[in-house]
Amino acid sequence: MSEISNVRVLALVGSLRTASVNRQIAELAAAVAPDGVSVTVFDGLGQMPFYNEDIDTPDGVPGSVVALRQAAAKADAALVVTPEYNGTIPAVIKNAIDWLSRPFGDGALKGKPLAVIGGSVGRYGGVWAHDETRKSFGIAGARVIDAIKLSVPFGSLAGAAPADSSELSANVRDVIGKLVAEVG
């Protein structure tokens, strides 16, 4: 097998709270990624305005959105790590999808492999949000890898931090390995 070098994965986290478990899972992904793979958590999702076609013009795009689009353009693949809110995608991720879906047919993640994982307190670990995020990012133009699945019910962590769970670490490492294998 050829050695991996310089693969950049952009991680988008669907929870803005400081102690977010999903953010910790994204950071775990960065920690367990193999040599030659960098996973960078994008920090600006909370600063972006709601998608608005009136400001999605060459002169009007806010700096926070330019930053997201540039980070996506530089990435070889994307990893979404999100909880479920009220049975579906948190607004912060849906807003990112909408901004990344434009220019129509030519968004910055167009054709790039993208995986969706994450966790929630519910017994199915947020699987509704994960399925719908896959659907929506696929419509937005990313190459969603449907076979990569990891929906973590937080009860299964027994109160431990994600980084302290060897099972979760192994599963996240597997996710990154499969995602990177899709980078062509």
Ligand X SMILES: Cc1cc2nc3c(=O)[nH]c(=O)nc-3n(C[C@H](O)[C@H](O)[C@H](O)COP(=O)(O)O)c2cc1C
**Positions in the binding site for ligand X (CB under 6 A):** 15, 17, 20-22, 83-87, 120-122, 126
Edge-to-edge strands, sheet with 77-81: 37-41, 7-13, 77-81, 113-120, 143-153
Question: Which one-letter amino acid corresponds to residue 18?
Answer: T
The least CB distance from residue 135 to ligand X, in Å, is 17
Is the distance from CB of 115 to CB of 76 less than 8 angstroms? no
The CB-of-8 to ligand X minimum distance in angstroms stands at: 23
Count the Cβ atoms, other than its own, within 10 Å of residue 53.
Answer: 9
Which one, 7 or 168, has the nearer CB to ligand X? 168
- To ligand X, the closest distance from the beta carbon of 95 in angstroms equals 15
Q: Which lies closer to ligand X via its Cβ, residue 113 or residue 154?
A: 154
Spatial contact of 86 and 120, defined as CB atoms under 8 Å apart: no
What is the nearest approach in angstroms of ligand X to the Cβ of residue 145?
22
Q: Environment class of residue 63 by beta-carbon count within 10 Å: exposed (0-12), middle (13-18) or buried (19+)? A: exposed
Smaller CB separation from ligand X, 73 or 91? 91
> Measured from the CB atom, is 76 or 84 closer to ligand X?
84
